[in-house]
């Protein structure tokens, strides 16, 4: 199993920065961190591994995911055709 690494760095603050500046910097850094974790898929993988999934459940889930992906691709194709041909 590969390990996803998420790295977020704080911008340099001067040593005498007030509480408001430090709080703002933390909020920005935390939102960047949440986005990076969400994009990497760490939490979804963690939640999937929390409970056992039988072969049948896994197969049904994969079929459902494939159907949603096909539906999404079909919708994207329709919107592109509408944009191109009106």
Q: Which ranges in 1-86 belong to alpha helices (H)? A: 19-40, 42-48, 55-85
What pLDDT band is residue 49 in, cutting at 50, 70 and 90? Answer: confident
Whether 3 and 40 map to the same domain: the answer is yes
Q: Which domain holds residue 76?
A: 53-86
Into how many domains does the chain fold? 2
Whether 28 and 42 map to the same domain: the answer is yes
Quick: pLDDT tens for 53-82: 899 999 999 999 999 999 999 999 999 999
Gyration radius (Cα) of the chain, Å: 21
Whether 4 and 43 map to the same domain: the answer is yes
Whether 57 and 24 map to the same domain: the answer is no
- Count Cα atoms within 13 angstroms, Cβ side, for 54: 3
Quick: pLDDT tens for 6-48: 777 777 777 787 888 888 888 988 999 999 888 888 888 888 8
The more confidently predicted of residues 35 and 1 is 35
- Cα–Cα distance, 22 to 69 (Å, whole number): 42
SS3 82: helix
Whether 66 and 45 map to the same domain: the answer is no
């Amino acid at each position: 199993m590969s390990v996803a690494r998420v790295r977020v760095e704080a911008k340099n603050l001067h040593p005498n920065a007030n509480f408001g500046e430090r709080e703002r910097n933390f909020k920005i850094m935390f939102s960047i961190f949440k986005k990076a974790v969400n994009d990497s898929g760490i939490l979804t993988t963690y939640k999937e591994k929390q409970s056992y999934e039988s072969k049948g459940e896994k197969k049904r889930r994969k079929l459902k995911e494939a159907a949603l992906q096909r539906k999404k691709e079909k919708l994207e194709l329709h919107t592109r055709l509408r944009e191109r041909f009106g």
